[in-house]
A and B are shown apart, each in its own frame.
Chain A
């Protein structure tokens, strides 16, 4: 049977080209792999190879022809004894029309109309643990260690890997005691090679283990970020659901104190942009514990952003066996009616301080601790804003493309009619972190800025 040779697409964007030269004449024998023509695209002249064997029948497009559309028949390849003209007449050459289909429904996360939502979300005020539960005072550091140890006791697939996590007991002593309990098979010191060990841990997760990767700080994860995003976050999608990376990347994030520009950076907004990742940034010790346990059990890659300054801060932690906090659920840290202050991580320090001082001036602020940044608990934010009609966001990260920016846009889209003032974002300043103590203090968000923002949106 005769085969039509079609004008090939020789690059992802080629729609037409010039048939520069025929290297085979009518009647020539052609083997698979023979170069039969030269074709010019907008980028280069390319050799065009035969895929099938046969005899060059009729050449339909003469050499030198410009603007030959991709998929136009340019020649006919015959089998022995076939007649060229008959073959041309019997074949059709119209490329199939492409159809543009519109999505049947818009997805939930697509922008909705600015009209108020029909179902007004309600604030979930259920406490994280039942009233009357006994609590103990624990630092964030201890809570994190307990969470990892409990999960490692329960699941042999869970292991901890990172710089100084084993024999040194953790650069910030988060893994204190874990080597003694679990041994060198499961608590693994790595050389200082973030790119490499992040990739190794991700490969181990593909194979079914549950790695916890400690970055000494998230600043160093910049060397490894390709594996966090391209390897860990995207594989489930790229494999059509066959395999993914059930793992936790954890470590201190954001500014510590006086460590300068390269060691002081908040990655909350960076990672929160990535579909396929979950992102957690807790404030209290009980949330550190409960969310870390949930993160280790989660079948997805979780970025767990800690804070060095919070490590030594103490909070109540419930004495409940196997205490977990679900990913994706915000916490109402303080109820109020005049304004919603929405924050997360160490930003909560400023939010709570500001709320306290505002109360003295008769402004009753509600404080929402997001805890998880992806998936984000939009309903809790909306419910609060629909009640107070004003919102101020607080974070230490940079202002451009911040979590606050995103929430402002979300609230504008979904609760425009409920807003009595523009949303204000309190963020770190748009500068690299300076070293000098006075400059550093000003580079970060301050409690006074939060108070000022609240007064501005409440017109006081």
Chain B
């Protein structure tokens, strides 16, 4: 985990820090609850948790403005919560209920929100990369200055369609921020075991795309780099790549025994680099908040998450007629 420069701290207001704390905590608690509901059999199939990576989406959402778009892979719960989608609707989709964002027909991997400009939720590794460039194509076509955040992992970064997309995105100056969430493991295969060119953002140079590596365990570092990327895109200079070095604490999916790394490795990351603990200690040492203030936030988040679990359990299963709807517009 190479943090190239120390996290910037100047000019960050107390409110901003508290906001990041709250947003990251919401994702963490939500995911823990999702893991629990999975264990109870209320969530089925695949369920990919985002725990450990919270600073990535929260830092980048801090740079977004109305009309900006986002698209990601199947590890998508954090992205949805960060862009303002309701915990209730996300959790109810996980349980496959009518109150879910896709009426229960999408599941953990396939959720969308037209209102929040969240375009999924894609289950084919790297498919979201050209799709995201296509969203950016639409913004350029329509003459807006909006950008699209296109998230993908270190595993997807080896797919051919990523490079087809890089080529066209740069050729056509598309306003797309490619966010490589490098959590170091493509399911069970470490970056070192899948490529001899481990600096993933540098691959963009072959196409003339600017990019940089970012400490993904620091929400402030992510935000700072995100602002550079977004400014580049909004100015019509084409795409930008952020390789965000992050870490997932949980397995690839719920059924991953994670034998490809040691318990110590995970534990060390949690203890030394946790993004939420980082902000928490910044808040406390900077006298921005007291233990009691943070406890109150913890309680507030716990209530939101518990309420979403209740909603997700109580929301009815979709009506059988739903089997036949939404196939054609």
Contacts and interface: CB of A to CB of B under 8 A. Distances in A.
Interface of A: 6-12, 14, 32-33, 35, 41, 43-49, 51, 70-71, 95, 101, 103-104, 107, 159, 185, 190-191, 193, 195-209, 226-227, 230-231, 235-244, 246, 275-276, 278, 299-300
A241 B39 contact: no
B325 interface: yes
22 contacts: A41-B255, A43-B257, A185-B141, A193-B167, A195-B130, A199-B131, A199-B161, A201-B134, A203-B130, A204-B138, A206-B119, A206-B135, A209-B137, A227-B127, A230-B122, A235-B120, A236-B327, A237-B327, A238-B105, A240-B326, A275-B327, A300-B329
A242 B127 contact: no
Question: Which of A49, A200, A238 is the most central at the interface, judged by chain B CB atoms within 10 Å of its CB?
Answer: A200
A4 to B, nearest CB: 10
Contact of B255 (A43, A200, A206): A43
Nearest to B320: A103
Nearest to A201: B134
A235 B134 contact: no
Contacts of B129: 199
A239 B127 contact: no
A393 to B, nearest CB: 25
Contacts of A35: 263
B113 interface: yes
B327 A193 contact: no
Given A101-B320, A227-B127, A238-B105, A203 B110 contact: no
Given A196-B164, A242-B114, A6 B134 contact: no
Given A51-B32, A243-B112, A236 B329 contact: yes
A96 to B, nearest CB: 10
A203 B139 CA distance: 11
Interface in B32-55: 32-33, 35-36, 38-41, 44-46
Nearest to B270: A33
B130 A204 contact: no
Given A12-B45, A239-B112, A49 B138 contact: no
A206 B171 CA distance: 21
A199 B130 CA distance: 5
A7 to B, nearest CB: 8
Contacts of B103: 240-241
Given A191-B168, A239-B106, A243-B112, A200 B137 contact: yes
A341 B257 CA distance: 59
> Closest 5 CB pairs between A and B?
A203-B134, A199-B130, A196-B164, A8-B39, A207-B138
Contacts of A9: 38-41
Nearest to A244: B329
Interface in B309-328: 320, 323-328
Interface of B: 32-33, 35-36, 38-41, 44-46, 69, 71, 100-106, 110-114, 119-124, 127, 129-139, 141, 160-161, 164-165, 167-168, 171, 249, 254-255, 257-259, 263, 270, 320, 323-329
Contact of B326 (A7, A101, A205, A237): A237
B137 A231 contact: no
A242 B112 contact: yes
Given A10-B39, A236-B327, A238-B110, A196 B167 contact: yes
B46 A238 contact: no
Given A204-B138, A226-B124, A230-B124, A241 B326 contact: yes
A227 B130 contact: yes
Contacts of B164: 191, 193, 195-197
Contacts of A208: 138
Contacts of B141: 159, 185, 204, 209
A243 B101 CA distance: 12
A14 B44 CA distance: 10
B134 A204 contact: yes
B107 to A, nearest CB: 8
A243 B119 contact: yes
Given A9-B39, A196-B167, A207 B135 contact: yes
Contacts of B113: 242
Nearest to B139: A207
Nearest to A190: B168
A440 B165 CA distance: 38
Given A199-B134, A231-B127, 5 more contacts: A12-B45, A35-B263, A71-B40, A203-B131, A238-B120
B35 A49 contact: yes
A195 B161 contact: yes
A112 B110 CA distance: 33
A127 to B, nearest CB: 27
Contact of B167 (A191, A202, A204, A227): A191
